[in-house]
Amino acid sequence: MTMQNLPLEGGCRCGQVRLKISAPPLLTMACHCTGCQKMSSSAYSLSAAIPADGFEVTAGEPVIGGLHGATRHYFCPHCLTWMFTRPEGMDWFVNLRPTMLDDASWFSPFIETFTGEKLPWAATAAVHSYETIPPMETYAVLVKEFAEKQPAA
Closer to Zn ion by Cβ: residue 23 or 35: 35
Residue 140, φ and ψ in degrees, nearest 5: -60, -40
- Contact pattern from residue 77 through residue 116 relative to Zn ion, giving x for each residue in contact according to CB under 5 A and a dash for the rest: -xx-------------------------------------
Residue 77, φ and ψ in degrees, nearest 5: -70, -15
What is the rounded distance in angstroms from the CA atom of residue 102 to the CA atom of residue 98? 9
**Radius of gyration over every alpha carbon of the chain, rounded to an integer in angstroms:** 15
Task: Please list every residue from 25 through 44 that binds Zn ion, using CB under 5 A.
Answer: 31, 33, 36
Residue 26 C-beta: closest distance to Zn ion, Å:
18
Size of the site for Zn ion (CB under 5 A): 9
Task: Count Cβ atoms below 10 Å from residue 43 Cβ, excluding itself.
Answer: 15
Binding site for Zn ion (CB under 5 A): 12, 14, 16, 31, 33, 36, 76, 78-79
